[in-house]
Each structure stands twice: as structure tokens, then as C-alpha cells.
């Protein structure tokens, strides 16, 4: 039956639908007690925060663990990478999710970002764990970033993804590799990061940080251990430990040994 409308009384219009909120993709993971000491993890080149899943899983009962995506990677793939933007993103996460101060662990690209973060805001870092970043991309090593970037452009994302999937399955086993493959590889962010790192003196930057530092390098990571002793000597409260049998991505190659070393360091610093 048609609805009757009284003369002179127009039918009331339906209220407007509330605006749809855009779906925001999370750019960090957090776990563990909110009142526990915080550890913030910064990932390496081309991968995402999921690189730290083994450490997040094993440390979350004792610490507040937070892993973030850097610009150009993961949920922030649409943001251009710069060292400045990455350091500021790390500061945002430390401020908003870790109460303004945290132990910061970084691997490769994430390690260089952690050094820059600690140089700018040393009061926000209760300590640093640095892996695969004990070499400066200067001198002979300065040709490595543009060479890698050129290679990536020549090969293309499709083939690079294919090669990386095979490499991860061979090196880390099917279960761990699938977690990383599902998170994706981000080659545009890689190229931007390589250009940004070239020529920077991270050993000098590290010398500006007065807090405790653990250089936790893979024993077989020959290239990125070239200036290891120089990095070790650059700051007064630094120590060195090697992860036996591991290469550049020590936290995935020997996750149990890596986590044990990180936990021992975390237990002895002044939070």
C-alpha cells in the first residue's frame, strides 16, 4: 500500500548516511605487556616489519615489542623513502607506542635508520642493537648502492620477486619464508633507500650517541662487517657479538641465537 502524505506536509528526507572512513592499513605491529620495557624493531631493505616475527614472538612475554614499516616498504609503500623521513617515522612510533624511549634494534637499512635516530634524539634511545650495518657506504662501497639500484631496474619487479622467493625458501625454510613472501617485497623503496645511504658516514653519526650499543652481526656477513672495529670504537659504551653460522640477515638465519643475545643485552641496560 502506498504511503499517504498529508497535504502541506512534505515527507521528511532520510538522514544522510555517515561518511565512510577510509581503511587505514596498520604500519606497525605491537605485542606484549603495555607496561613492560619497550623494544622497537626496524627492518632491512626491500622487506617489511614482518622480518622481526621470530623476535616478536619470543620476546613478547617479557617486553613490549613493536615492529614498524619504514617509508617505501609494507603499509608505507606509497611514501617516498628518505633517511630523514625514516628517522622521523621511527621517532613517531617510539613516542606514540613506547612512551618516548625504547631500545631500538635495526638490521641493515633499519640499523642505519636507528643510528640516525639515535644521533638526532639520543634521549629517546635507551640502547641500540645494530645488525648488518657495520660498514659505511663510502669509498669502494659507495659504488654498491647505485649498482644494485641499476640491476633492480634492469631486471624488473616480477623477476626480482621470483628470485627473492626462491632465495628465502632456500635460506630460511618454507614456514618462515612464506611469512616474508606474504608480506611482500618493495623494490621501489629499496632503490630510494640505496640512493639515500650512499656516501653517508654512519660511524661518525654513531659516535654522537652516548648510550649502550650492541653490534650483533652475523659471523659470515663479511661485507657489512668491514668497518666493524671502527664502529665498535666510535662510541664509549659499545660491545660486539657475532651470531655463529649467520650471514647478513642474522635474525632470520639463526633466530634463537639472535634473540638470546638481544635479550641478554636488554636485561643489562639502564632503561
pLDDT tens per residue, range 170-209:
999 999 999 999 999 998 888 888 888 888 999 999 999 9
Q: Model confidence at 26, in pLDDT bands (50, 70, 90)? A: confident
Of 208, 212, 222, give the one whose Cα is nearest residue 250.
222
191/80 Cα distance (integer angstroms): 10
253/14 Cα distance (integer angstroms): 60
pLDDT tens per residue, range 144-177:
666 666 777 777 778 888 989 999 999 999 999 9
Residue 143 class from Cβ within 10 Å (0-12 exposed, 13-18 middle, 19+ buried)?
A: exposed
Residue 115 class from Cβ within 10 Å (0-12 exposed, 13-18 middle, 19+ buried)?
A: buried
What end-to-end distance do the CA atoms of the chain give, in Å?
Answer: 73
| Mean predicted confidence (pLDDT) in 18-23 | 44
| Mean predicted confidence (pLDDT) in 125-137 | 95
Domain ranges of the chain: 28-137+201-268
Give the alpha-carbon dihedral of 53, 116, 247, 27, to 10 degrees.
Answer: 20
Q: Model confidence at 24, in pLDDT bands (50, 70, 90)? A: very low
Residue 78 pLDDT greater than 50, yes or no: yes
Q: 3-class SS at 90? A: helix
Residue 88 pLDDT greater than 80, yes or no: yes
Output the pLDDT for position 193: 87
pLDDT tens per residue, range 49-72:
999 999 999 999 999 999 999 999
Strands (E) located in 185-263: 213-218, 238-243
Where do the H-state alpha helices sit in 184-221?
187-197, 202-207
User: Containing H/E element for 102?
Assistant: strand 102-107
| Mean predicted confidence (pLDDT) in 220-229 | 95
**Average per-residue pLDDT for the chain:** 89
| Mean predicted confidence (pLDDT) in 4-16 | 51
Q: Which fold has domain 28-137+201-268?
A: Rossmann fold (3.40.50)
110/233 Cα distance (integer angstroms): 21
| Mean predicted confidence (pLDDT) in 94-106 | 98
Give how far Cα 97 sits from Cα of 54, 63, 90, 161, Å.
20, 13, 10, 32
CA atoms within 13 A on the CB side of 30: 15
Amino acid at each position: 500500500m502506498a504511503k499517504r502524505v498529508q497535504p502541506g506536509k512534505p515527507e521528511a528526507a532520510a538522514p544522510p548516511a555517515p561518511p565512510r572512513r577510509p581503511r587505514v592499513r596498520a604500519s606497525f605491529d605491537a605485542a606484549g605487556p603495555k607496561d613492560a620495557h619497550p623494544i622497537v624493531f626496524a627492518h632491512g631493505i626491500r622487506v617489511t616489519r614482518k622480518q622481526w616475527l621470530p623476535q616478536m614472538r619470543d620476546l613478547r612475554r617479557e617486553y613490549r615489542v613493536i615492529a614498524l614499516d619504514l617509508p617505501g616498504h609494507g603499509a608505507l609503500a606509497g611514501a617516498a623513502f628518505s633517511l630523514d623521513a625514516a628517522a622521523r617515522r621511527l621517532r613517531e612510533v617510539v613516542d606514540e607506542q613506547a612512551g618516548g624511549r625504547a631500545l631500538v634494534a635495526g638490521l641493515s637499512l633499519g640499523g642505519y635508520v636507528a643510528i640516525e635516530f639515535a644521533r638526532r634524539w639520543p634521549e629517546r634511545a635507551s640502547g641500540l642493537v645494530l645488525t648488518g650495518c657495520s660498514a659505511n657506504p663510502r669509498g669502494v662501497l659507495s659504488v654498491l648502492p647505485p649498482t644494485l639500484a641499476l640491476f633492480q631496474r634492469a631486471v624488473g619487479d616480477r623477476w626480482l620477486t621470483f628470485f627473492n622467493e626462491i632465495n628465502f625458501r632456500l635460506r630460511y625454510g618454507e614456514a618462515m619464508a612464506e611469512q616474508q613472501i606474504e608480506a611482500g617485497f618493495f623494490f621501489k623503496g629499496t632503490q630510494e633507500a640505496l640512493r639515500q645511504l650512499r656516501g653517508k658516514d654512519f660511524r661518525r653519526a654513531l659516535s654522537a650517541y652516548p648510550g649502550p650499543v650492541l653490534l650483533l652481526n652475523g659471523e659470515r656477513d663479511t661485507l657489512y662487517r668491514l668497518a666493524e672495529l671502527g664502529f665498535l670504537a666510535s662510541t664509549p659504551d659499545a660491545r660486539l657479538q657475532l651470531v655463529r653460522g649467520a650471514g647478513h640477515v642474522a635474525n632470520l638465519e639463526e633466530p634463537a641465537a639472535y634473540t638470546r643475545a638481544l635479550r641478554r643485552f636488554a636485561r643489562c641496560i639502564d632503561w
